[in-house]
Amino acid sequence: MAQLIGHKFKIAVFISGRGSNLKNLLNFSKKNKTNWKISLVISNKKSAKGIKYAQQFKIPHKIFENKIKIFEKKALIALKKKKINILCLAGFMRILSKTFIKKLKIKILNIHPSLLPKYKGMNTHKRVIQKKEKFTGCTVHYVTPKLDSGKIIIQKKVRVYKKDNPKTLSKKVLLLEHQAYPEALQKICS
Ligand code: GAR
């Protein structure tokens, strides 16, 4: 991506829940020299715990608890108004429409808790264990209209042991996610 001279890439983050990836990105950009900054947080749920991190870090945030079409319409206006350069999905549990992706015309990234293209969709850790996989991990990838299928930016891998269960795997993978997402942003914004 071309370098922004004298400016930082403006990032928006979409969340639906806990927001640990959002918190981690906020901390990372505070503690490190980044040429990106989080300028907007949007949640599709009022109950999303992650909203508190936007509040703590004094980042503009919006909640659009609407059906996806209206959500997208409102989000598009907010993103354009803030002149957002990159959209990061972080535990955003809705599927964005083809029209939204086309209209937005900026890079959209997602983090997924599996080694894509394996285990797209939900309940990844449970399925990894059922299939007796030796490794699992996380993937940061570009978002395309096809679910969990865009070009991969970064993957991180961890061993699955016999004693692992979905809870232990989810903890291990989350630690990797917290390394992978900032790395991916550093990579695409360099
Ligand atoms: C993360 O594990 C992320 O990979 C996953 O939701 C969790 C959100 O955690 N995303 C998906 O499953 C998307 N398909 P967080 O709210 O603490 O960042």
The one-digit pLDDT tens for each residue of the chain (190 residues) are 545 656 899 999 999 999 999 999 999 999 999 999 999 999 999 999 999 999 999 999 999 999 999 999 999 999 999 999 999 999 999 999 999 999 999 999 999 999 999 999 999 999 999 999 999 999 999 999 998 899 999 999 999 999 999 999 999 999 999 999 999 999 999 9
pLDDT at residue number 4: 63
CB atoms within 10 A of CB 140: 25
pLDDT at residue number 7: 86
Distance between Cα 5 and ligand 1 center (Å): 32
Domain membership of residue 3 (yes or no) is no
The H-assigned helical ranges of the chain are 20-31, 51-56, 68-81, 98-104, 124-130, 166-188
pLDDT at residue number 62: 98
The strand order across the sheet containing 86-89 reads 61-63, 36-43, 9-15, 86-89, 107-112, 135-142, 152-159
pLDDT at residue number 27: 98
Domain membership of residue 82 (yes or no) is yes
Atom of ligand 1 nearest to the CA of 48: 16
Whichever domain contains 87, its CATH number is 3.40.50.170
Domain membership of residue 109 (yes or no) is yes
CB neighbour burial string for 119-128, b if at least 16 within 10 angstroms, e if fewer: beeeebbebb
Atom 8 of ligand 1, nearest CA residue: 91
Domain membership of residue 180 (yes or no) is yes
Atom of ligand 1 nearest to the CA of 124: 12
Domain membership of residue 144 (yes or no) is yes
4 Cβ neighbours under 8 A, 6+ residues apart? 35, 85
**19 CB under 6 A from ligand 1?**
yes
pLDDT at residue number 186: 97
Give catalytic status of residue 112 as yes or no: yes
Q: Which of 126, 127, 91, 125 is nearest to 13 (CA)?
A: 91
Q: How many independent structural domains does the chain possess?
A: 1
Domain membership of residue 110 (yes or no) is yes
Ramachandran area for residue 87 (φ above 0: left; ψ -120 to 50: alpha; else beta)? beta
Which two three-digit tokens encode residue 184? Answer: 């991916």
How many CA atoms lie within 13 Å of 159's alpha carbon, on the beta-carbon side? 3
Domain membership of residue 83 (yes or no) is yes
Query: What span, in angstroms and rounded, lies between the C-alpha atoms of 130 and 119?
Result: 12
Please give the torsion angle defined by the CA atoms of residues 102, 105, 111 and 115, in that order, rounded to the nearest 10 degrees. 70
Atom 7 of ligand 1, nearest CA residue: 91
Domain membership of residue 122 (yes or no) is yes
Beta bridge partners of 156: 138
Contact between 57 and 29 (Cβ < 8 Å)? no
**111 CB under 6 A from ligand 1?**
yes
Q: What's the domain range around 46?
A: 9-188
Atom of ligand 1 nearest to the CA of 174: 2
Distance between Cα 163 and ligand 1 center (Å): 23
**18 CB under 6 A from ligand 1?**
yes
Distance between Cα 113 and ligand 1 center (Å): 7
Distance between Cα 6 and ligand 1 center (Å): 32
pLDDT at residue number 5: 56
Ligand 1 pocket test, candidate residues 53, 111, 169, most atoms within 8 A of CB: 111
